[in-house]
């Protein structure tokens, strides 16, 4: 099986397969005389494993870690559980962030009806820095919520 067929059968692109090889997620296969990669069906399972992990948003480095664990089958699997737990926490916190963001966007959207001109746009107005409205006692330390991923 050459790389093109493997790509079709695995659902990974040719470049992705070569990339995984370069990153050490799958081992370098034999080559034909003409230097073409030659795969057997075992690599299909490895790619499937990787795809399953990627579908859970595990990073390649985490997957690499899991692969290396599989190569020492007698060690305890605690590390696996921890990785999933850590991941769960990250996903949960990301969801919370996005929900806050969603609320902010919803609220912002309400600030403007249609058909105004840009300088009267309620949304743009809201995004501008708050004018220092009160002459006595400045308190302006609020930084807008928001997170990245």
Partner DNA sequence: GTAAACTCTGTAGTAACTATAGAGTCAAGA
Partner DNA sequence: TCTTGACTCTATAGTTACTACAGAGTTTAC
Under rule CB under 7 A, residue 41 binds DNA = no
How many residues make contact with DNA (CB under 7 A)?
A: 23
Under rule CB under 7 A, residue 3 binds DNA = yes
Given a contact cutoff of 8 angstroms between Cβ atoms, the answer to whether 99 and 106 are in contact is: no
Under rule CB under 8 A, residue 149 binds a second copy = yes
Under rule CB under 7 A, residue 61 binds DNA = yes
Binding a second copy by CB under 8 A: which of 8, 13, 24, 95? 95
Given a contact cutoff of 8 angstroms between Cβ atoms, the answer to whether 50 and 62 are in contact is: no
Report the alpha-carbon distance of residue 109 to residue 122 in Å, rounded: 9
Binding Zn ion by CB under 5 A: which of 77, 117, 129, 132? 77
Alpha carbons within 13 A on the beta-carbon side of 84: 7
Q: Which partner from the list DNA, Zn ion, a second copy, none does 2 bind, CB cut-off 5 to 8 Å by kind? A: DNA
Token pair for 97: 């962030």
Residue 142, SS3 per DSSP: coil
Site for DNA in 90-149 (CB under 7 A): 148
* DSSP code, position 56: T
Under rule CB under 5 A, residue 121 binds Zn ion = yes
Residues written for the chain: 149
Under rule CB under 8 A, residue 61 binds a second copy = no
Least distance from Zn ion to the Cβ atom of residue 17, Å: 23
Binding Zn ion by CB under 5 A: which of 49, 80, 94, 97? 80
Least distance from Zn ion to the Cβ atom of residue 125, Å: 8
Report the alpha-carbon distance of residue 111 to residue 134 in Å, rounded: 22
Q: Which helix (H) or strand (E) holds 38?
A: strand 37-38
Instruction: Give residues in contact with Zn ion (CB under 5 A).
Output: 77, 80, 87, 112, 116, 121, 123
């Amino acid at each position: 099986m050459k790389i093109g067929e493997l790509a079709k059968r695995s659902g990974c692109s040719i470049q992705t397969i070569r990339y995984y090889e370069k990153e050490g997620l799958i081992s370098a296969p034999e080559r034909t005389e003409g230097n073409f990669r030659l795969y057997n069906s075992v690599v299909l399972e490895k790619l499937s494993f990787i795809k399953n992990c990627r579908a859970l948003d595990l990073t390649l480095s985490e997957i690499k870690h899991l692969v290396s664990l599989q190569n020492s089958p007698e060690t305890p699997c605690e590390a696996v559980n921890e990785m999933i737990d850590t991941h769960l926490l990250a996903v949960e916190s990301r969801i919370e962030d996005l929900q806050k963001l969603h609320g902010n966007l919803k609220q912002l959207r309400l600030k403007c009806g249609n058909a105004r001109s840009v300088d009267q746009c309620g949304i743009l107005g809201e995004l501008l820095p708050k004018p220092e409205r009160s002459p006595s006692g400045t308190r302006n330390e609020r930084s807008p919520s928001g997170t990245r991923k």
